[in-house]
Structure 1
Amino acid sequence: MTRLLGLALLLSASATAHARDWPQWMGPQRDGLTSETGLLKEWPEGGPKRVWLNREVGLGYSGPAIADGKLYTLGSRDGVEQLIALDADTGDELWAVDLGQEYENDWGNGPRNTPTVDDGRVYALAARGALVCVSADSGDPIWKKQLQDFGGETPNWGYAESPLVDDGRVVVTPGGEKGAILALDKLTGERIWQAEELTPIAHYSSIVVGSPNGQKQYIQLLQDQLVGVAPDSGELLWSVPWPGRVAVIPTPLVEGNRVYATTAYGIGCMLVEIAPDNTPEVVYENKVIKNKHGGVILLDGHVYGHSDGAGWVCQDFDTGELVWRERSALDAGSLGYADERLYLLSEDGGEVVLLEPSPKEWIEKGRFTLEPQTDLRKPKGKIWVHPVIANGKLYLRDQELLFCFDVSAE
């Protein structure tokens, strides 16, 4: 069953709008999709109405997580990285927690990670490797760990992974000889297991949950391999070589027994089929999509996303063949999905496009330009935070500027 059909089955047969939280990186299931309905199918000239603008969330590329009326993000203010909570409806700050010294580089200072909200707690990873658990209501600390204590080493562009919280575990990728993937007890922060068979350094992809052949797994794209590990032990279940170069960033897509991975820097994409005995078979490898860090989304048998050198692309998921590409309408960027529409954000100009996903052609349903834009971005930095759609609102970020737009049809 395709993801689009799966989303439809989650909805009521009535036309009633359904609001949905976006509690972690890339949405409820870490696939860029939400089952929310009741949203605008076309935008008026100039785009949807802006509800609020918070100008003080600090430097960085952290995306927002929205749950129970609150928005959580990370930002660097006065040289300190912080986990920040806002009222999702007004943008007013509720509390902030210090995580440690600001990470600095030429592409932009500050954190790169989206918090994860689970069962009244918020889990966040700072760019220098501090992993924290705090109360979602108050920000009161519950526990704090440092990924370097588990053998990790801060990657070239800082830790950019967003923590996975699943079945009592917080799962992250410190990298290194002690085991590249690590599971901690979500309540105490104590180590449960570390995947000692895997030793590459940390890169930037985030772990997802899959169930090939009904067997639950944690799936991660490492620098040199695409892997599945057992949730209860960290045992390596399967591995496929991956020729990662410079930076391995996009989160894998999982549908049934198949896993899709892509990176840029000349690498391309790959689809892997996992057999019942966990033997992986490569279905195809090609360069139709070479996605850098804007992410890809699977809808109704087609992968949508930006490909270096090719522009925006629609790819047949089953065969890997190019369906269409659009080079001139929008520069490189990121995307999210809600209610039969893709939300695209360009990294250079801050243009925001509402797109009807179609295997036939680029069908645009609205466009506006993000205004104002930051004056604090470094020369090599761009607008790299992915769009977030939750509870009738569209949230966008450009460094210290966090925007909220009303995209509800009601």
Structure 2
Amino acid sequence: MRKKTILSLFFILIFTSASLAQKPTVWRGGNNGVYAETGLLQAWPENGPEILWSYEELGEGHSSPVFANDKIYLTGMVDGEGFIFVLSQDGKLLWKKSYGKEFTDSYPGARSSVVVDGDLMYVYSGYGVLSCMDSGNGDVKWTKNAFEDFDGANITWGVTETVVIDGDILYFTPGGKKNNVVALNRFNGDLIWTSAGKGELSAYCTPLLVELPARKLLVTHTADHILGLDAKTGQLLWDFPHTNRWKVHANTPIFYNGGLFCFSGYGQGGVKLNLSEDGSSITKAWTKTELDSRMGGMVVVDGYLYGSGDNAREWRCVDWETGEETYAAKDIAKGVTIYADGMLYCYSERGELALVKADPKAFEIVSKTKVELGSAQHWAHPVINNGRLFVHHGNALIAYKIK
């Protein structure tokens, strides 16, 4: 009996370990910019958090690092060629591998983050090439061209979408008239389903996968609409008009407490949509033009939305249920927002890095520093991992000690 029990426990442990190892990385973490780490510094030293290390040979790019297989994966562009850089936890280059031509036009550089799922990884280039590669050595397993294979077309500033993986399925948005949003078998690239959506171009958006009791829902932006699709079949369940002058909708929608918040810049702002229980329909709850972050994301914490705008440059806090604004502040320039352990981490387009209390009553900066290393625009979304804050700024990845 004891031998059977030991064997059963052994197989449970093996199965659990395998399941955990296969969990894919997700853009902005598993909870859309809200990180679960605790015990983090509630104030930084006078000169800012200690820099543990930096790696400064990434070339050009705006993507975020991901963490898997005890390694760090990050994209960059060198001489027009896109590379996946694989670093050790202490910032040493282990290897790098080309995934082909990268975006060299306006605001050049690698755009999308790598997605790693066990022994495979995926990267989507600014020119619409999706590559599946071995996460251990970079060998190419299969590729698809969104524009040639799925009647898509590129957009003004290049494809900027991190693909979404769920189990055996990979989701992305070619933006074709027929193949607007598609689901592929992630192991071989075979088509599982295709949706015509609204037949619009893609819009720089990484989709959101929402797990409801009745179904999984895939939510994304295309040029002029928000789309809600059944993730199993690709059926378009609902759509909602949402556009701006440049058709840029780079922020992943936020799901919280049965509702969706979808938002974009250039003065368009955001709309909260209430989902029906089975996700098959929506009703508009409220809109707010001042919540018009162009590409910096927002976070929802304890029933409040936090983030900065674009035309409306202030940092704002808004009640999730009512849309009522609780503060607006201009202490730092507009930028990216993430959250952990009671604090907002605000990274502005001027390179300001601020630690701010997540308090709906006031935008209170506790500590502030300046990102001096790196190059070009301060656009990449920071990531928190194992007591460290990672900031990608052009040619540099910087690891700050925040615990």
TM-score, structure 1 as length reference: 0.88
Shift of 1:211: 3.1
Aligned ranges for residues 13-28 of structure 1 at < 5 Å? 23-28=25-30
Mind listing any 5+ residue stretches in structure 2 that lack a counterpart? Answer: 1-22
List per-residue Cα deviations over 1:55-114 (Å, max 9, x = no partner). Answer: 101101111111232111111112211122111x221112222122231223x2122111
Aligned to 2:390: 395
Shift of 1:130: 1.3
Q: What is the identity, as a one-letter code, of the residue corresponding to 1:238? A: W
Shift of 1:212: 4.5
Aligned to 2:187: 187
Shift of 1:372: 2.6
Aligned to 2:314: 311
Of the three residues 281, 284, 291, the one matched with 1:282 is 284
Shift of 1:300: 0.7
Q: Is the 8 A contact 2:296 2:381 kept in 1?
A: yes
Distance 1:22 1:92 in 2: 23
Residue 136 in structure 1 maps to residue 135 in structure 2: yes
Comparing 384-393 with 307-316, greater Cα deviation is found at: 307-316
List per-residue Cα deviations over 1:122-160 (Å, max 9, x = no partner). Answer: 111111111111222222222211111211111110010
Shift of 1:360: 0.6
Q: Is the 8 A contact 2:224 2:242 kept in 1?
A: yes
Distance 2:219 2:120 in 1: 24
Aligned to 1:299: 301
Q: What is the identity, as a one-letter code, of the residue corresponding to 1:386? A: H
Aligned to 1:169: 169
Distance 1:167 1:245 in 2: 37
| Runs of 4+ deviating beyond 6 Å | none
Comparing 246-255 with 95-104, greater Cα deviation is found at: 95-104
Q: Is the 8 A contact 2:176 2:196 kept in 1?
A: no
Aligned ranges for residues 25-40 of structure 1 at < 5 Å? 25-29=27-31, 31-40=32-41
List per-residue Cα deviations over 1:141-200 (Å, max 9, x = no partner). Answer: 222111112111111100101110112111011102122111111111111111124311
Aligned ranges for residues 320-339 of structure 1 at < 5 Å? 320-327=323-330, 329-339=331-341
Shift of 1:315: 0.8
Q: Is the 8 A contact 2:122 2:132 kept in 1?
A: yes
For the structure 1 residues 209 and 256, does the alpha-carbon distance in structure 2 shift closer, same or farther, using more than 3 Å as the test?
farther
Distance 1:222 1:197 in 2: 9
Q: What is the identity, as a one-letter code, of the residue corresponding to 1:204? A: Y
Aligned to 1:356: 357
- 1:150 is paired with a residue whose SS is coil
Q: What is the identity, as a one-letter code, of the residue corresponding to 2:150? A: F
List per-residue Cα deviations over 1:182-240 (Å, max 9, x = no partner). Answer: 11111111111111243110111111111346431111122211121111211111111
Q: Is the 8 A contact 2:181 2:197 kept in 1?
A: no
Aligned to 1:5: none
Aligned to 1:269: 270
Q: RMSD value over aligned CA atoms?
A: 1.6
Aligned pairs, number: 377
Distance 1:338 1:330 in 2: 20
Structure having the higher Rg: 2
Comparing 96-105 with 232-241, greater Cα deviation is found at: 96-105
Q: What is the identity, as a one-letter code, of the residue corresponding to 1:59? A: E
Distance 2:265 2:167 in 1: 32
Q: Is the 8 A contact 1:39 1:339 kept in 2?
A: yes
Distance 2:58 2:24 in 1: 19
Distance 2:134 2:77 in 1: 20
Q: Is the 8 A contact 2:197 2:227 kept in 1?
A: no
Q: Is the 8 A contact 1:356 1:364 kept in 2?
A: yes
Shift of 1:274: 1.6
Aligned to 1:223: 223
Shift of 1:390: 0.5
Q: What is the identity, as a one-letter code, of the residue corresponding to 1:406? A: K
Distance 1:310 1:84 in 2: 34
Shift of 1:310: 4.0
Aligned to 2:96: 96
